């Protein structure tokens, strides 16, 4: 346990710079987006009301009040989120491959630590989770700050105020990242954890058997996904709606746990018996 | 004792090791010799479970390698095993954090021995000093066995001499060493046992001292005899 925690800390420190850069980009771009979009709306209002002498009520009925959703649906807001998602996606691969390639051969050190090699796997997957939770938490902290700036710039009569929950729930495209219920959280992040464990196993297949390993890794991923969705496939094509939705949900959770456990076992086996530096 | 028993290793269809067997004892320096690609590094990797073998068995003090063994045996590959952005002190701290066999006193002694500055970053070191840091990280551990892969590879004469001094110092006393090197001249007089490899097999295993005393031959003489036959 002690070695695992040390490894988590060590891995996190290695990611800290990239993490800080991505957080900074999110902070700067999203706040800039709030300012730019609010100012643009305000400029249009000023132009119409003070230069073209349009009555305020007519302006509001023509253009409507500005809601914070205008910001959240813009590239200013979604761009940094997409960048962070891509960053984590890229890091899932980088977190393993950087230890093999480059000037250093850090993988030697990791595999020669006097602890079970699965701790390396656990430390790396924990870091992916920590990074994801870190980005989500940062975004949730940032939204109230952004709405405050939004309120500072736009007078009350020109804006629609929304709280964080209203903002998040009205954006289906980011609902997976910010589930509004505990069940949703377990479901989405559990599935995410399972996907990362499958990808890690596929990477370890490649690192164990090189070119053949790519093929085996892809095959393993297909089988794992097939096992995971097998209750859905059975329900749809064989059993013709036999299960109640709740039963199907429970079966999916069981299948997810089986795939997760299978991936961890396989990764442990590869790290112990098949890995090649 | 390290026992390598009939190990075979294939890379695809190519057979690298075809039943290699030898032993290495504590307190002795065993040198693996062979041309490039003969499988010397593969043998060291296999001992440390860093690459799987197809057949055979490797025992360390009678046991197959497991996580606890890494407190008893260390491997110094020909490239640094730490991150380039780390300072030497960070690397030492990392080792201290993870290994109970890490000997900080010896590490400090080795820093002085190799004239290294612990505040230097690994990425800023010359090839010779990088090799010295690599050696420091391996030798500062209180282990029974040290495996070294080409410790003199690509470094200048003066650094080679400094590294060679380690083998005559107390820093290596009472340990079993398995070393692969092409620069045999630097440590020839210190080697106890030689394992000559060719085409994936051990073609000769002999005591360097016996060859010197009984036949009046140096290790290089025996190598010439065997390889130039």
The model's pLDDT over B132-187, given as tens digits with 9 standing for 90+, comes to 999 999 999 999 999 999 888 777 788 788 888 888 888 777 889 999 987 787 78
Q: Looking at residue A82, what is its pLDDT?
A: 94
Q: Model confidence over A189-233: pLDDT tens digits?
A: 999 999 999 999 999 999 999 999 999 999 999 999 999 999 999
Check if A115 contacts B (Cβ < 8 Å).
yes
- Which residues, numbered 179 to 208 in chain A, qualify as contacts with chain B under a Cβ-Cβ cut-off of 8 Å? 208
Cβ within 8 Å, pair A114-B82: no
CA distance B156 to chain A (A): 19
| Domains identified in chain A, total number | 2
Reported ipTM: the value is 0.91
Whether A47 and A164 map to the same domain: the answer is yes
H or E element that contains B206: strand B201-207
Whether A132 and A34 map to the same domain: the answer is yes
Residue range of the domain that includes A167: 1-174
Whether A133 and A224 map to the same domain: the answer is no
Residue range of the domain that includes B141: 2-227
Q: Looking at residue A52, what is its pLDDT?
A: 85
- Which residue, of A147, A174, A201, is where some domain finishes? A174
Q: Looking at residue A274, what is its pLDDT?
A: 94
Cβ within 8 Å, pair A117-B51: no
CA distance A265 to chain B (A): 17
User: In the predicted model, is pLDDT for residue B212 greater than 80?
Assistant: yes
Whether A22 and A127 map to the same domain: the answer is yes
Sort A205 into a burial class: Cβ within 10 Å, 0-12 / 13-18 / 19+: buried
More confident residue, B208 or B182: B208
pLDDT band at B94; cut points 50, 70, 90: very high
% of chain B beyond a pLDDT of 90: 59
At residue B39, the 3 state secondary structure works out as coil
Whether A23 and A77 map to the same domain: the answer is yes
Other C-beta atoms closer than 10 Å to the C-beta of B90 total 17
Read off the tokens for A78.
């979604």
pTM of the model: 0.91
Mean pLDDT on A264-276: 96
- Which residue, of A174, A191, A219, is where some domain finishes? A174
- Nearest Cα neighbor of A266 from A124, A121, A125 is A121
CATH at residue B91 = 3.40.50.300
Whether A16 and A114 map to the same domain: the answer is yes
Sort A271 into a burial class: Cβ within 10 Å, 0-12 / 13-18 / 19+: buried
Is residue B199 within 8 Å of residue B15, measured between CB atoms? no
Whether A72 and A133 map to the same domain: the answer is yes
Read off the tokens for B61.
């003090």
| Domains identified in chain B, total number | 1
Q: Looking at residue B146, what is its pLDDT?
A: 94
Whether A152 and A212 map to the same domain: the answer is no
- The least confident of A168-172, B45-49, B51-55, B207-211 is A168-172
Read off the tokens for B148.
């070294």
Whether A110 and A239 map to the same domain: the answer is no
Q: Model confidence over A131-158: pLDDT tens digits?
A: 999 999 999 999 999 999 999 999 988 8
CA distance B76 to chain A (A): 9
pLDDT band at B102; cut points 50, 70, 90: very high
Q: Looking at residue B44, what is its pLDDT?
A: 96
């Amino acid at each position: 346990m002690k070695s695992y925690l040390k490894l988590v800390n060590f891995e996190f420190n290695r990611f800290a710079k990239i993490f800080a850069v991505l957080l900074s980009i999110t902070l700067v771009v999203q706040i800039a987006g709030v300012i730019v979009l609010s100012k643009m709306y305000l400029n249009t209002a000023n132009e119409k009301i003070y230069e073209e002498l349009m009555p305020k009520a007519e302006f509001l009925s023509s253009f409507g009040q500005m809601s914070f959703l205008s910001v959240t649906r813009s590239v200013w807001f979604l761009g940094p989120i997409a960048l962070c998602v891509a960053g984590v996606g890229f890091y899932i691969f980088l977190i393993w491959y950087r230890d093999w390639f480059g000037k250093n051969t850090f993988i030697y050190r990791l595999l020669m630590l006097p602890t079970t090699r699965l701790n390396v796997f656990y430390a790396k997957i924990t870091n992916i989770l920590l990074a994801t939770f870190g980005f989500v938490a940062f975004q949730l902290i940032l939204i109230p700050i952004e709405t405050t700036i939004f309120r500072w710039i736009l007078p009350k009569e020109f804006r629609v105020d929304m709280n964080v929950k209203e903002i998040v729930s009205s954006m289906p495209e980011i609902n997976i990242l910010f589930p509004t219920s505990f069940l949703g959280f377990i479901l989405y992040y559990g599935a995410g954890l399972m996907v990362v464990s499958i990808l890690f196993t596929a990477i370890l297949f490649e690192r164990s058997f090189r070119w053949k390993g790519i093929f085996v890794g892809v095959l393993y991923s297909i089988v794992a996904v097939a096992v995971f969705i097998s209750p859905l496939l059975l329900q749809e094509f064989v059993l013709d709606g036999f299960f109640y939705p709740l039963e199907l949900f429970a079966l999916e959770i069981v299948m997810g746990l089986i795939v997760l456990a299978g991936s961890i076992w396989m990764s442990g086996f590869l790290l112990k018996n098949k890995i090649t530096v | 004792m390290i026992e390598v028993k009939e190990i075979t290793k294939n890379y695809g269809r190519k057979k690298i090791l075809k039943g290699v067997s030898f032993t290495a004892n504590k307190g002795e320096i065993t040198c693996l010799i062979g041309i490039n690609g003969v499988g010397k590094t593969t043998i060291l990797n296999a001992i440390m479970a860093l690459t799987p073998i197809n057949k055979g068995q490797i025992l360390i003090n009678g046991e197959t390698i497991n996580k606890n063994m890494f407190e008893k045996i260390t491997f110094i590959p020909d490239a640094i095993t730490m991150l380039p952005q780390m300072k030497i002190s960070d690397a030492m701290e990392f080792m201290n954090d993870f290994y109970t066999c890490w000997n900080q006193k010896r590490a400090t002694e080795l820093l002085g021995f190799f004239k290294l500055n612990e505040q230097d970053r690994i990425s800023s070191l010359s090839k010779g000093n990088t090799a010295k840091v690599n050696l420091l990280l391996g030798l500062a551990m209180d282990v029974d066995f040290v495996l070294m892969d080409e410790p003199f590879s690509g470094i200048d004469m003066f650094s080679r001499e400094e590294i060679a001094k380690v083998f005559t110092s107390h820093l290596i006393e009472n340990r079993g060493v398995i070393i692969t090197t092409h620069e045999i001249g630097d440590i020839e007089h210190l080697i106890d046992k030689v394992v000559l490899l060719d085409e994936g097999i051990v073609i000769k295993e002999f005591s360097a001292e016996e060859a010197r005393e009984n036949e009046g031959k140096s290790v290089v003489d025996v190598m010439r005899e065997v390889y130039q036959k």
